[in-house]
Amino acid sequence: MTLLTTRLAQPPALPCDGARATSTPLYQTATFAQHPDGDSRWDYSRSGNPTRDVLEVQLAALEGARHALACSSGVAALSAVLRLAHRGDHVIVGDDLYGGTCRLLRLLAEDHGVEISRAPLHEPGALRAALRGNTRLVLAESVTNPFLRVVDVGALATDLRGRDVLLAIDNTMRTPLALRPLAHGADLAIQSATKLLNGHGDVTAGVVATDDDALADSLAFRRNAEGTTLAPFEAWLLTRGLQTLPLRLRAQVAGARQVAAALPGLPGVTRVITPDDGSDVVVITLEVEDEAAARALLERTRLFRTTVSFGGVGSSISTPATMSHASMTVGERAAAGITPTLVRLSIGIEDPADLLADLEGALAAGRRCAVAGLT
Ligand SMILES: *Cc1c(COP(=O)(O)O)cnc(C)c1O
């Protein structure tokens, strides 16, 4: 048994590859010629594709799971999981969630008659208090975004022991290298692979992993029926991204630690938020004095590109209130405490000294303009 880093670096060869390619071949085809007797391993890429098979074997190894399904986006993965709840079922979700997840939950409630409750699932006892007789599913982010609150997956699983309630963990912020939700008792582990798993900002993809054969069958059926499978080219790019995931993550986490340590000393920074248990993440949330200061920081940084996403090799900066969490209603944002003074950084693989100099220059320039009464 090779170790995970080795395994990710060397995806398995395809049994059907007579050419013995040493990197994963891209089967960029919608259809496969079928045997007249109908006994074909692959027929149509929405239902099965050799390149995606390699990816899913790698994703299952990464999660330590029996099954991993690659979906067209993180939201498609979340949607497949949330649709395991039906009309009249109750779903409990965390109170600090990715904005797109909030939008999806609204659809689930309005169009599909599912009852949704929000609860501070990072607090002990909150899940038990929220449970009802018709609770079917619990969805939490392992480290929340943008407040970086840490959820104890094992404690949630313990609270659900003996009940017919599924525990799903959106582990996008941590990745399976830092936390494997299934090993802590979750039934389903979700990733937006668009973020760290791919890491290069050129793929939109999602993953659901599970050890439960029946759940995997049900999710695979739904994914094929609804057409949310990952396309071959994206599967190929993501397989390549996974080869360097351990290296990238190590560099980005180290960079984030260095930047987070220096941020409190920079001009105009009023608060720096990192996970309170010291979890390894590449995101840092900070607060500045007012909305104008937040806007000025985004405009003045050069190395941090203004983008909604995170986890790529290039550092990025965003204001959650107007970007990643803009799809929430004003009331949802207010309840979650997502104010216009919050700024989220994602640290890439650049030299942390350059990143700090960039932030310091942008903050100092913003300060000088504010003092001079300029915007
Ligand atoms: C980005 C993100 C998603 C959605 O993933 P997409 O790939 O953009 O569809 C879901 N959950 C979290 C925590 C995310 O950051």
Q: Is the CB of 100 under 6 A from ligand 1?
A: yes
What was the pLDDT predicted at 145? Answer: 84
| Ligand 1 atom having least distance to the Cα of 195 | 1
Segment among 92-101, 187-196, 339-348 with least mean pLDDT: 92-101
Residues contacting residue 111 through CB under 8 Å, at least 6 positions apart: none
Length of the chain as a residue count: 375
Please name the residue whose Cα sits nearest to atom 1 of ligand 1: 192
Q: Is the CB of 246 under 6 A from ligand 1?
A: no
345: pLDDT strictly greater than 70? yes
Distance 143 CA to ligand 1 centre (A): 13
**What is the value of pTM for the model shown?**
0.95
Tokens of 105: 């939950």
Q: Is the CB of 148 under 6 A from ligand 1?
A: no
Segment among 47-51, 60-64, 165-169, 335-339 with least mean pLDDT: 335-339
pLDDT digits (tens, 9 = 90+) for 149-186: 999 999 999 999 999 999 999 999 999 999 999 999 99
Average pLDDT over residues 208-234: 97
39 is catalytic: no
Q: Is the CB of 194 under 6 A from ligand 1?
A: yes
Q: Is the CB of 318 under 6 A from ligand 1?
A: no
Q: Is the CB of 98 under 6 A from ligand 1?
A: yes
| Ligand 1 atom having least distance to the Cα of 173 | 13
Distance 338 CA to ligand 1 centre (A): 17
| Ligand 1 atom having least distance to the Cα of 75 | 9
- Measure the CA–CA gap between 375 and 368, rounded to whole angstroms: 10
128 is catalytic: no
27 is catalytic: no
Distance 245 CA to ligand 1 centre (A): 18
302 is catalytic: no
Average pLDDT over residues 67-83: 97
Where is pLDDT greater, at 371 or 242? 242
Residues contacting residue 338 through CB under 8 Å, at least 6 positions apart: 146, 320, 321, 325, 328
The band of 2, judged by pLDDT with boundaries at 50, 70 and 90, is confident
Q: Which of 172, 173, 208, 309 for a ligand 1 pocket mutation test, highest count of atoms within 8 Å of Cβ?
A: 172
Report whether 108 contacts 244 (CB < 8 A).
Answer: no
What was the pLDDT predicted at 45? Answer: 96
Distance 171 CA to ligand 1 centre (A): 10
263: pLDDT strictly greater than 70? yes
Please name the residue whose Cα sits nearest to atom 6 of ligand 1: 74
Q: Is the CB of 175 under 6 A from ligand 1?
A: no
Beta bridge partners of 117: 92
Distance 262 CA to ligand 1 centre (A): 28
> How many of the other CB atoms lie within 10 Å of CB of 20?
7
Report whether 273 contacts 147 (CB < 8 A).
Answer: yes
- Measure the CA–CA gap between 297 and 367, rounded to whole angstroms: 10
Q: Is the CB of 89 under 6 A from ligand 1?
A: no
Q: Is the CB of 181 under 6 A from ligand 1?
A: no
Distance 31 CA to ligand 1 centre (A): 30
Average pLDDT over residues 255-282: 95
pLDDT digits (tens, 9 = 90+) for 274-297: 998 888 999 999 999 999 999 999
